[in-house]
Amino acid sequence: MDAPVCRLCGYRFTAAERPIPVVYAGFWRRAAAMLVDFLVFAPLQGIFFVLLVTAQMGGAQQARSQVGAAVIVLAAFAIGHWLYHTILESSSWMGTVGKRVCGLRVTGLDGRRIGFARANGRYFAKFLSATFMSFGYLLAAFTEKKQALHDIAASTLVVRVVPSGLQSR
């Protein structure tokens, strides 16, 4: 009998080794993780909204400083959102709070943790996924490895975490 071969990297296992099953994360589980991330980030969005509204209060003579304050608040929010995704997905958590709650991890095609550069590319590729009525996100429901457009662009996978008790079976 031939030794099993890893579908991700082609590694041929010896008889003593058993491959850990790879379960790709489906569309709805990924959507649930996005919802959790939204709920995590919503209080911060509220704070930034209050700061933005506060910056817009005042008379016409303060218009220039109001625009400057609004730009700073929006830039801080955008940078925070980017760092939240990029740092957590490249960390030992291998995903955001939402992905962790839903039992998901972001990996490279080899199943390993991705680096900051790849997580950064994946984050900005999400803008492609969001265009055309979020068609890029919907791809996860139809591709073999359940990859969205940004996963394909960044050569990443979103996989379900297999509980350690099930790995030995």
- Gyration radius (Cα) of the chain, Å: 20
The pTM of the full predicted model, rounded to 2 decimals, is 0.78
Segments of the chain with pLDDT less than 50? 168-169
In a domain, 130, yes or no: yes
The CB density around residue 13, as the number of other CB atoms within 10 Å, is 12
pLDDT for 2: 66
Is residue 43 assigned to a domain? yes
Q: According to the model, what pLDDT value does residue 46 have? A: 84
Residue 119 inside a domain? The answer is yes
- Within a domain: residue 13? no
Owner of token pair 């939204």: 38
* DSSP symbols for 80-109: HHHHHHHHHHHSTT-S-HHHHHTTEEEEET
Note whether residue 2 is domain-resident: no
pLDDT at 17: 53
pLDDT at 169: 45
What pLDDT, on a 0 to 100 scale, did the predictor assign at position 67? 76
Question: Which domain does 159 fall in, by range?
Answer: 23-167
55 domain-assigned: yes
Give the Å distances, CA to CA, from 11 to 18, 19, 107.
12, 10, 17
Distances, alpha carbon 83 to alpha carbons 24, 97, 104, in Å? 25, 13, 19
pLDDT of residue 151: 98
The answer to the question of residue 139 being in a domain is yes
In total, how many domains does the chain have? 1
